[in-house]
Chain A
Amino acid sequence: MKSIAIIYELFLQQNPDPTYSDSVFPAVFLATFFTALGAAVVFYLLINRRSAGFHTRKHWAIVLGLVNTLAFGYSMFISKFQIAALSFDSYMMIFGVINFFLAGILFFLFSLVLKQFSIYSKKVPF
Chain B
Amino acid sequence: MANIFVFGIGGTGARVLRSLTMLLASGVKLNRNDRIVPIIIDLDLQNGDTARAIKAMDMYKFIRDRAYGERAEVEEGFFSTEFCKLNSLRSAENQENVAVTESFQLKFQGIDDRFKDYLNYNEMDQIDQHFLQALYDDSPQGSPGAELELSLNVGFKGNPNIGSVVFNDLVNTNEYKYFNNIFQDQDRIFIVSSIFGGTGSSGFPQLVKLIRNSENDRLKDAKIGAISVMPYFNVEEDESSAISSKRFISKTKAALSYYQEAMNHQNGRNGLDVLYYIYDNPGSSPYVNIEGGTKQINNAHVVEMLAASSLVHFANLSNEIFGTSTKYYEYGIKEAATALSIKHFYDYTKELFLKPLTYLTYFAKLHLEFIPNADKAGFLDDFIDKYAKDDFFNTLSSFFTNHYLLWLYEMKNNERSFQPFGFDENGNLNSFNDLVTENPIETSFFNKGLTDKFFNTVYGKIIDKMDRNESNVYRKYLNATFKVCKTAFEEKLGALPNLV
Is residue A53 contacting chain B, with contact meaning CB distance below 8 A?
A: yes
Q: Given that A119-B461, A119-B464 are contacting pairs, would A52 and B378 also be in contact in the complex, using a CB cutoff of 8 Å? A: no
B456 and A122 contacting across the interface, CB-CB below 8 Å: no
* Alpha-carbon distance A58/B460, docked complex (angstroms): 18
Q: How far is the CA of A56 from the CA of B374 in the complex (A)?
A: 10
Contact A119 B379, beta carbon cutoff 8 Å: yes
Report how far A96 CA is from B318 CA in the complex, Å: 78
- The reply on B281 being an interface residue by CB < 8 A is no
Within 8 A of B (CB), among A44-66: 51-53, 55-58
Whether A121 and B457, one on each chain, are in contact in the complex, defined by CB atoms closer than 8 angstroms, is no
By a CB distance below 8 angstroms, the chain B residues around A124 are 377-378
State the Cβ distance, A114 to closest chain B Cβ, in Å: 13
CA distance A123 to B381 in the complex (A): 9
A8 contacts partner chain B, Cβ-Cβ < 8 Å: no
Is A120 at the interface (CB under 8 A from chain B)? yes
Asked, given contacts A119-B379, A120-B378, whether A52 binds B464 with beta carbons under 8 Å apart, the answer is no
The residue in A51, A119, A121 that gathers the most chain B C-beta atoms within 10 A of its C-beta is: A119
A55 touches B456 (CB 8 A): yes
For the complex, would chain A's binding face be called helix, strand, loop or mixed by DSSP majority? loop
Q: B63 CB to closest chain A CB, in angstroms?
A: 27
Q: Which of B423-467 contact A (CB under 8 A)?
A: 453, 456-457, 459-461, 464
Minimum CB–CB distance for B148 against chain A, Å: 70
Contact between B376 and A52 (Cβ–Cβ < 8 Å)? Answer: no
Distance from B477 Cβ to chain A, minimum over Cβ atoms (Å): 17
User: Is B75's CB within 8 Å of the partner chain A?
Assistant: no
Q: Is B375 part of the contact surface with A, judged by Cβ < 8 Å?
A: yes
Q: Chain A interface: which size bin?
A: 10 to 19
Q: Which of B377, B381, B461 contacts A55 (CB 8 A)?
A: B377
- Across the interface, A119 reaches (CB within 8 A) one of B375, B381, B453, B460, namely B460
Residue numbers in B under 8 Å from A115 (CB-CB): 378
Task: Please measure, in the bound complex, the distance between the C-alpha atom of A123 and the C-alpha atom of B374, giving whole angstroms.
Answer: 14
Which A-chain residue is minimally distant from B463 (CB atoms)? A119
Q: How far does the Cβ of A30 sit from chain B's closest Cβ, in whole Å?
A: 31
Chain B 355-394 interface mask (CB, 8 Å, partner A; 1/0):
0000000000000000000011111010000000000000
Residues of A bordering B, CB below 8 Å: 51-53, 55-58, 115, 118-124
The 5 closest A-B pairs by CB, nearest first: A122-B378, A52-B456, A123-B378, A56-B375, A53-B453
Given contacts A53-B453, A57-B376, A119-B464, 4 further A-B contacts (CB under 8 A): A52-B456, A119-B379, A121-B378, A123-B378
12 pairs of residues in contact across A and B, judged by CB atoms under 8 Å: A51-B457, A52-B459, A52-B460, A53-B453, A53-B457, A56-B375, A57-B375, A57-B376, A57-B377, A118-B378, A123-B378, A124-B377
